[in-house]
Amino acid sequence: MAEPLTRTYKLRSGRVTPGQQRALDSLADRFAVPGDGPLDLTALFGREAPVVLEIGFGMGATTLEMAQADPGTGLIAADVHAPGVGALLRGLHERGLDNVRVFHGDGAELLERRVPSASLAGVRLYFPDPWPKARHLKRRLVDARFAAVVADRLVPGGRLHCATDWEPYARQMVEVLRAEPGLELEHGGPVERPEWRPVTKYEARGRAKGHEVADVFARRPAEIA
């Protein structure tokens, strides 16, 4: 039996608005990731397409922008917070997007338990909880176990993209990803935000506090024939 996953998020209290609740009630069947077994990504999106997993999408604003800008990519968006799930579902319906499937739950667990090997074109992890206190460092998502799972789930050439406004966490990301033999750290370390990644609410909040934002990329090496 696999070792249980450490919870890497805090369940925030937040009221689900009437509009979000209506979306949860009426749209979940249309957009939700179904079942509890291994995912068939082609069946999930009804077509062959590169698929990206986003772990933690907040209220979904960035997810909607990126999905609308890249309709040819299937996006699995995972988050544990009901208000954000409801907001994303409503946004997908209002924008008429059909390239996103929503998972209400722990995206890291979905990645490890249900996503097949060599199936994802990308994994996105934008502003995960930094767990800044020393006694909580073990709760940070980007560790050796996570890196190994990501390396296995990415297709050759597939890319992990992390972003954080907590400099010690950025250093940890670089160290962990550099040590994972199944991944190649790009650029040698953090870089500035690429233009195609929208600014998130958490990013703006961090910058307002004077935090430097770092984007970190790692790629599964392309297989040599």
pLDDT tens digits for 58-97? 999 999 999 999 999 999 999 999 999 999 999 999 999 9
| Mean pLDDT on 189-212 | 91
pLDDT at 49 over 80: yes
pLDDT tens digits for 122-150? 999 999 998 788 887 888 999 999 999 99
pLDDT score at 2: 56
Residue 63 CA, distance from chain mean position: 10
Residues with a catalytic annotation lie at 129
| Mean pLDDT on 108-125 | 97
On the question of a common fold for 18-116 and 118-225, the answer reads yes
Express as a percent the part of the chain with pLDDT over 70.
Answer: 93
pLDDT at 13 over 70: no
Range with the poorest average pLDDT among 23-27, 55-59, 130-134, 219-223: 130-134
Q: What is the pTM of this model?
A: 0.93
pLDDT greater at residue 51 or residue 5:
51
Q: Encode burial over 92-123: b for 16+ CB neighbours within 10 A, e otherwise.
A: beeeebebbbbbbebbbbbbbeebeeebbbbb
Arithmetic mean of pLDDT over the chain: 92
**CATH code for the domain defined by 118-225:** 3.40.50.150
pLDDT at 14 over 90: no
- For 14, other C-beta atoms within 10 Å of its C-beta total 12
Class of CATH domain 18-116: alpha beta
CA-to-CA separations, 208 to 68, 109, 129, 142, 205, in angstroms, rounded: 27, 32, 17, 25, 5
pLDDT score at 8: 59
Per domain, the residue ranges of the chain are 18-116, 118-225
pLDDT score at 91: 98
